[in-house]
Amino acid sequence: MKFSHKLIFNAVFSCEEYAYTLKVDEKSDVYSFGVVLLELLTGRKPVGDFGEDGLDIVQWTRMQTNNGSKEQVATILDERLQNDVPIKQAMQVFFVAMLCVQEHSVERPNHERSRSNAHASQATRHISNAVIVE
């Protein structure tokens, strides 16, 4: 059986409602953006890296950071970020990511809102640069 890379990509980065409707819209794109932010923060792949069948990066992050405290967020950070990125910046990106991966699409920000926070945008650039410059 041959699989399409596009189909696999969509399954990994898509929100739950995509599985039911097979429709992609702005809110599903925002969800995917949140998944990418979580990948940058944690250094983990979106699926298959969590020890439990069916657990993905969004579910794992929620389990690890149930109240979103600074200490809990620090425990999920990619080790490459721990010395290079201030925890305040990591927290900003974490909160934007968690807004983007809200379970219900109406609770997610739109594209403009998810990208417009200047502090979070600067923090995201700082984090992505720290991860890329291995």
Q: H helices within the chain, ranges in order? A: 5-13, 16-21, 26-42, 57-64, 70-76, 87-100, 111-116, 118-132
- Taking only the tens place, the pLDDT of each residue in 52-102 is 777 889 999 999 998 788 899 999 999 988 888 888 889 989 999 999 999
In the numeric block, which tokens belong to residue 124?
Answer: 């995201």
Whether residue 79 is contained in a domain is answered as yes
For the chain, how many structural domains are there in total? 1
Range of the domain at 48: 25-132
CATH number of residue 93's parent domain: 1.10.510.10
Is there a domain that residue 54 lies in?
yes
Per residue in 4-35, pLDDT (tens digit) is 334 334 444 556 655 555 566 678 888 888 99
